[in-house]
A = this chain, B = another copy of it.
Amino acid sequence: MVDVVVIGSLALDDVSTPFGTVKGALGGSATYASIACSLFSSPGVVGVVGSDFPQKYIDQMKSKGVDLRGLEIEKGGKTFRWSGEYGLDLNSAKTLKTELNVFEKFDPKIPSDYAGVDFLFLGNIDPSLQLDVLSKMKKRPKLVVADTMNLWIEKKREEVLEVVEQVDVALMNDAEARELFRTSSIVKAAREILKRDSEVAIIKKGEHGCVLFTDSSYFACPGYPLENVKDPTGAGDSFGGSLIGYLAKTQDFSFGNMKKGIVYASSVASFNAEGFSVQRLCEINMRDVTKRYGEFSEFVKF
Which A positions have Cβ atoms within 8 angstroms of B? 18, 87-90, 175, 178, 182-188, 191, 205, 207-209, 211, 213, 218-223, 225-229, 256, 259-260, 262-263, 297-302
For A183, the chain B residues whose CB sits under 8 A away are 88
B229 x A184 contact (CB < 8 A): yes
For A260, the chain B residues whose CB sits under 8 A away are 302
Q: A87: nearest residue on chain B (CB-CB)?
A: B184
Q: A300: nearest residue on chain B (CB-CB)?
A: B300
| Residue from the set A191, A220, A227, A262 with the largest chain B CB neighbour count within 10 Å | A220
- In the bound assembly, the distance between CA atoms of A183 and B88 in angstroms comes to 7
Write the nearest CB–CB distance from A218 to chain B, whole angstroms.
5
| Residue from the set A208, A228, A263 with the largest chain B CB neighbour count within 10 Å | A208
- Which of B90, B227, B259, B299 contacts A220 (CB under 8 A)? B299
Write the nearest CB–CB distance from A203 to chain B, whole angstroms.
10
- In the bound assembly, the distance between CA atoms of A225 and B262 in angstroms comes to 18
Write the nearest CB–CB distance from A298 to chain B, whole angstroms.
8
For A191, the chain B residues whose CB sits under 8 A away are 227
For A175, the chain B residues whose CB sits under 8 A away are 89
Write the nearest CB–CB distance from A111 to chain B, whole angstroms.
36
- In the bound assembly, the distance between CA atoms of A260 and B301 in angstroms comes to 10
- In the bound assembly, the distance between CA atoms of A92 and B153 in angstroms comes to 23
- In the bound assembly, the distance between CA atoms of A116 and B266 in angstroms comes to 47
A211 x B222 contact (CB < 8 A): yes
